[in-house]
Amino acid sequence: MTEPTLLELSYKAADDKRAEDIIVLNMKGVSLLADYFIICHANSDRQVQAIAKEMADQAEKSGFPVKRLEGFDAARWILVDMGDVVGHVFHKDERQFYNLERLWGDAPIISVDTEV
């Protein structure tokens, strides 16, 4: 069994907390901000916070530092900056408004295998 990557851990953390419509964008060659964006949403402030907290907790537990956690108190768009992977956890209404998938339309959507 191999060690899960930061991307796999973050994706699984979001999935475990029942994030909806999880999309991973491969940002390599598209942006210098990160290698991957994980974009997902939830229907309540509390669930948005739970997803972001789980992503941060699982990363830190596995030895990946969380550089920044932005927007946690408002819980409308929480950014979890883990370096090479950035999680964007939205409240459903904000996700539709900001539409990062369209904004970063040049980035390919990839599938994540979390069976590790």
Could you give the domains of the chain?
A: 6-110 (3.30.460.10)
Q: Kindly state the average pLDDT of the residues 77-102.
A: 95
Give residue 2's pLDDT: 47
- Residue 98, helix vs strand vs coil: helix
Range 52-65 burial, b when 16+ CB lie within 10 A, else e? bbbbbebbeeeebe
Residue 114: band (very low, low, confident or very high) from pLDDT cuts 50, 70, 90:
low
Total residues found in the chain within this entry: 116
- Residue whose structure tokens are 């370096």: 83
Q: Kindly state the average pLDDT of the residues 17-29.
A: 95
Angle at 112 between CA 86 and CA 92, to 5 degrees: 55
Q: What is the Cα–Cα distance from 24 to 112, expressed in whole angstroms?
A: 8
Enter the pTM of the model.
Answer: 0.91
Give residue 115's pLDDT: 47
Give residue 1's pLDDT: 32
User: Which one is predicted more confidently, 1 or 104?
Assistant: 104
Q: Kindly state the average pLDDT of the residues 25-39.
A: 92
